[in-house]
C-alpha cells in the first residue's frame, strides 16, 4: 500500500512559484560525450555588503563577551547553524525549526527584526534550545564585518558582546554567475541502468518534468527518461518517489562527465514511499 507524505509546503507555494518558461532548458537525458576536462567558472567575487547574499554562511566559531566558547550554538556539530540573506530577509537553518526575519544594513550595522519560525518539536533537548539561543543572539543590532573571496568570512558582534564568526560557501548563483531557471522534476522511486562513456555500470535517476498551473494543479511533461546528471543537494533513496523544485544553471565550459546544464536542489515539494 502506498503512503503519500506531503512535506510542510502548502500547495499555494507551488502555485505562486514562477513556472518555467514555455521553452525550458531540456532535462539532461542524453549520455554526455567525453570532452576535455573543465571546471565550472566562479563569477567575480562580490565585495563588502554585496557579499551577504552571495554565500551560505556557516557558523565556525562563537564566543561571548568574556571570550568563552558558546556551546549552545553548536548543538549540531555536523550541520552548523547557517545564515542566508536574500531580498531583505534573513533565513536561519540547521536549527530545530526553520527561522527567518527581516533585516536592514546601514554601513556596518546589521539590524534583524524579531524572527518567526516553524513549530516543529525536536526530540533532542539541545537542538530544541538552539532556536532560542540563535534568536537572542541574532535579533537586534550587530556590528558586521564581511570578507568575500576564496576565504569568505562574516563576523557579527552583537550588543551583548557575543562574537559569531561564519565561513562562506558560495551559493549556486555565485558559482554559476546568474539566477538560474526554476523547474519542477519528478524523480521515480527506482533508478535504471544507463550507458555512460566514463562511468561503468552507471545507474540513472528516472525523471520527468512537472508543471503547475495558476491554480496549483499539477501536470506531467512527457515520459520517464534517464537523467545522467547529479542534482546538487539531493540524495536519492530507493523506493521513495519525490517531486523536487530545482534551479537549472548553464555551465561554461562544460565538464568532461556532465551536460551543459547543472541542477541544484531548491526544496523537496512532495515525497511518496512506494516500497513494497
Strands 55-63, 116-117: pairing is: unpaired
Block residue for cell numbers 537549472:
248
pLDDT value of position 7: 38
Cis peptide before 48 (omega within 30 of 0): no
pLDDT value of position 70: 97
pLDDT value of position 117: 86
**DSSP line for the chain:** --EEE--S--HHHHHHSPPPPSSPPPP--SPPPP-----PPPPPPP-GGGGGGGEEEEEEEEE-TTS-B-GGGGS-TTS--EEEEETTEEEEESSSS-EEEEEEEETTEEEEPPPEE-----SSHHHHHHHHHHHHHHSEEEEEEEE-STT-EEEEEETT--EEEEEEEE-HHHHHTS--EEEEEEE-SS-EE---SSSTT-EEEEEEEEEE-TT--EEEEEEEEEE-S-EET----TTEEEEEEEEEEE-SSPPTTS-SEEEEEEEEEEEEE---
pLDDT value of position 165: 98
From first to last of its 276 residues, the chain has per-residue pLDDT tens of 444 333 333 333 333 344 433 334 445 554 454 443 434 434 455 655 678 999 999 999 999 999 999 999 999 888 999 999 998 999 999 999 989 999 999 999 999 999 998 888 888 888 889 999 999 999 999 999 998 888 999 999 999 999 999 999 999 999 998 889 999 999 999 999 998 887 888 999 999 999 988 888 888 878 999 998 899 999 999 999 999 999 999 988 887 767 899 999 999 999 999 876
pLDDT value of position 248: 95
pLDDT value of position 146: 93
Cα gap 105→98, rounded to integer Å: 22
pLDDT value of position 110: 95
Amino acid at each position: 500500500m502506498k503512503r503519500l507524505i506531503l512535506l510542510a509546503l502548502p500547495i499555494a507555494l507551488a502555485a505562486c512559484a514562477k513556472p518555467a518558461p514555455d521553452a525550458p532548458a531540456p532535462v539532461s537525458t542524453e549520455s554526455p560525450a567525453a570532452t576535455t576536462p573543465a571546471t565550472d567558472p566562479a563569477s567575480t567575487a562580490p565585495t563588502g555588503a554585496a557579499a551577504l547574499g552571495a554565500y551560505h554562511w556557516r557558523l565556525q566559531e562563537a564566543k561571548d563577551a568574556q571570550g568563552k566558547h558558546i556551546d549552545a550554538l553548536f548543538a549540531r556539530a555536523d550541520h552548523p547553524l547557517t545564515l542566508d540573506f536574500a531580498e531583505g530577509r534573513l533565513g536561519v537553518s540547521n536549527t530545530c525549526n526553520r527561522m527567518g526575519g527581516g533585516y536592514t544594513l546601514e554601513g556596518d550595522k546589521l539590524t534583524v527584526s524579531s524572527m518567526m519560525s516553524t513549530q516543529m518539536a525536536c526530540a533532542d533537548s539541545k537542538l530544541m534550545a538552539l532556536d532560542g539561543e540563535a534568536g537572542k543572539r541574532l535579533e537586534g543590532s550587530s556590528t558586521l564585518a564581511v570578507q568575500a573571496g576564496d576565504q569568505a568570512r562574516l563576523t557579527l558582534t552583537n550588543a551583548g558582546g557575543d562574537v559569531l564568526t561564519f565561513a562562506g560557501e558560495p551559493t549556486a548563483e555565485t558559482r554559476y554567475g546568474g539566477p538560474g531557471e526554476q523547474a519542477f522534476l519528478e524523480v521515480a522511486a527506482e533508478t535504471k541502468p544507463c550507458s555512460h562513456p566514463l562511468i561503468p555500470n552507471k545507474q540513472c535517476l528516472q525523471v520527468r518534468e512537472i508543471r503547475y498551473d495558476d491554480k496549483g494543479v499539477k501536470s506531467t511533461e512527457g515520459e520517464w527518461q534517464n537523467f545522467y546528471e547529479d542534482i546538487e543537494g539531493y540524495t536519492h533513496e530507493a523506493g521513495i518517489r519525490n517531486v523536487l523544485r530545482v534551479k537549472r544553471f548553464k555551465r561554461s565550459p562544460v565538464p568532461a562527465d556532465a551536460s551543459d546544464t547543472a541542477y541544484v536542489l531548491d526544496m523537496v515539494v512532495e515525497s511518496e514511499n512506494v516500497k513494497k
